[in-house]
Amino acid sequence: MCGICGIVERDRPIDEATLEAMCATMVHRGPDEGGVRLDASGPFRIGLGHRRLSIIDLSTGTQPIGNEDGTVWTIVNGEIYNYQELARELEAKGHRFRTRSDSEVLVHLWEEHGPDLLSHLVGMFAFALWDSKNARLLLARDRLGKKPLFYRADGDSLAFASRLETLLVADGGSREIDPVALDRYLVLQYVPSPRTILAGVSKIPPAHYLLYDRGKVTVERYWWPRPAADAPRTIEEACERLRALLTESVRLRMISDVPLGAFLSGGIDSSVLVGIMAGLSSQPVRTFSIGFDVPEWDERHYARLVAERHKTEHHELVVSPDARAIFPDLVRHYAEPFADSSAIPTWYVSKLAREHVTVALSGDGGDELFAGYDRYKGVALGGLLGAILPPPVARALEQVAGAFHRDGTRRTPAYRAAKFFRGLAEPPLSRYIEWISYFPRRERRGLYRPEWAEILPPNPPHDYFREALAPHADRRLLASILLLDTLTYLPEALLTKVDVASMAHSLEVRTPFLDHRVVEAALAMPTSWKLRGWKEKYVLKRAFADLLPPVVRTRAKMGFAVPLGAWFRGELSGLVGDLLLSRNARVREFFRPAALERLVREHRTGARSHEYKLWSILFLEMWCQVFLRNPAMRPSAVRRPERATP
């Protein structure tokens, strides 16, 4: 795992000091060594920078790494898991390798296949590849978006980096907030690609590549998540195939020249992975769990059961509400607003794991592939009720359920009922967006100052989700929602959270469920094998029943979250007032002070539960303080577009 960066210019020199400064912002992503390469041999000049966390080929894997004659160079963040097989095939065609590094296969694959090299890769990666003969730069992200890549293109210049903060070092460009990105952040708690919070800066989306060809920039998708062609005919066949594919995926991700372990929450996904790892390893697997003093949020008991069953070397840490202490670190490392509160336990479990290992396996992806969230049950039930209930009845039920939601917690039946009936009269996709929205559209409109509300599109998240699903319009409702979360929430929220939190502690995290062959096999299974009645992940539990303690196999899903509501009314109550109720709060440039005060008051008194809204605004406030330090960069200085486009 590493950090990469670079600059391309036409007829202008690259400043090596700037490249070194960019690399310096990514030392935590690659603490072991760094390297830069400048190429000024033609009209197009390029500088490549790399910071390395050594995992494979510790002695000779230094980057940038080139081909035999030095005309093709690459820098890579991530791992190519099938590199040994690819190297053998390339050597048979006459290519010569100087290292045992997985990264070196890329320069030789480029010589053979050009951009189509991406179809040959199994891995998690974001890389840059420079072909000096043809003045072509290829930037690419893996199929599921496990590794990030930001860029800014301006005429003949292009800069890219693994981190947004690194990119800002490169060009010193304006820091104007993108209003649409801000609005999507409030709704989703993250800024989805290709946008970033800053206008003019983009993310390469998952499964896409950018080709810079003599000054011309094109961005193309190279992979769509399609169901495997040989779909299983029976659930028994599906279980057998899933077991074989996931076991092989884990085996590939256990290849490492440094110590390796696993995150263990006590849920189904991480428990399955630990069981597979134990069967493949001759030594006890090292496992890591996080817990809380609030019992209803603490999963350590289940993690211990799994650890005992598979005789792991188990480590635990109890997280106390000291978000004030780590808040500045979270903001600095995420470098754009990101309000998934599970970043807090992910931060701590990564810190704990890094004290013992350099690589950890994670169960991310299992919920989206095999219907693990409670909301998928709501999708199935909502599809039935939405077809038979008249809209006035659905709205009346929403009002009745909402009237009972006054206890200030998101986990009560009253809250779940109110959320379920919200939007039941809407079309299925709009209803689902309402369910997963942290700020519903009517609340959002009342939050903004008039000058911001005027420039926002009416429903930007709807357009974002519809675009993601457009090539899959023929799928049934639940299958569409599972795919939607796989294409959006999984890479943009969950994988971003894990990448940033783990790399902040120089820890590489690998996700066996997100081998694209496992994903394609899961897509080929009917949803009735995943959600059977109220039993979620049915096929996954059945395939690995022997690895799961019975109480773990039948337990309700808890989720990797934190008790923000209790914290904000207790130990962290002062944090809210200090940051949001101050006259100097930066978010008052966007939001009405009276609306902010109402949110704080209602949450403190227990009248309503606003912990996730408050966390979103708190993170945004801290981000503004850190990254908009200059008066010229204040939100009020944003150049207002005539109309923001979705």
Please give the structure tokens belonging to residue 92: 């048979």
Beta bridge partners of 509: 360
Cβ-Cβ contacts under 8 Å for 349 (sequence gap 6 or more): 263, 288, 289, 290, 317
> What single string gives the DSSP state of each residue in 461-526?
HHHHHHHHHGGGTTS-HHHHHHHHHHHTHIIIIIIHHHHHHHHTTT-EEE-GGG-HHHHHHHHTS-
**Cα–Cα distance for residue pair 596/611, rounded to 1 Å:** 13
SS3 assignment, position 284? coil
Structural contact between residues 210 and 151, judged by C-beta atoms closer than 8 angstroms: yes
SS3 assignment, position 535? strand
Beta bridge partners of 73: 66, 130
Structural contact between residues 205 and 215, judged by C-beta atoms closer than 8 angstroms: no
Q: Which of 463, 483, 464, 460 is nearest to 473 (CA)?
A: 483
Degrees (nearest 5) of the Cα angle 172, 178, 180?
A: 165
SS3 assignment, position 203? strand
Q: Is the preceding peptide bond at 512 cis, omega within 30 degrees of 0?
A: no
Cβ-Cβ contacts under 8 Å for 20 (sequence gap 6 or more): 36, 49
**Cα–Cα distance for residue pair 82/90, rounded to 1 Å:** 12
Burial class of 12 by CB neighbour count within 10 A (0 to 12, 13 to 18, 19+): middle
Which residues are identified as catalytic?
A: 2
Structural contact between residues 361 and 253, judged by C-beta atoms closer than 8 angstroms: yes
**Cα–Cα distance for residue pair 73/128, rounded to 1 Å:** 8
3-state secondary structure 120-183: HCCEEEEEEEEECCCCEEEEEECCCCCCCCEEEEECCEEEEECCHHHHHHHHCCCCCECHHHHH
Please give the structure tokens belonging to residue 589: 């440039």
**Cα–Cα distance for residue pair 575/577, rounded to 1 Å:** 6
Structural contact between residues 8 and 39, judged by C-beta atoms closer than 8 angstroms: no
Q: Which of 372, 373, 358, 340 is nearest to 288 (CA)?
A: 358
Please give the structure tokens belonging to residue 87: 């190297």
**Cα–Cα distance for residue pair 358/363, rounded to 1 Å:** 17
Tell me how crowded residue 634 is: count the other CB atoms within 10 A of its CB: 15
Please give the structure tokens belonging to residue 596: 């902010």
The residue behind tokens 């440094």 is 258
Please give the structure tokens belonging to residue 597: 């005060």
Structural contact between residues 39 and 16, judged by C-beta atoms closer than 8 angstroms: no
Give, as one character, the DSSP assignment of residue 563. -
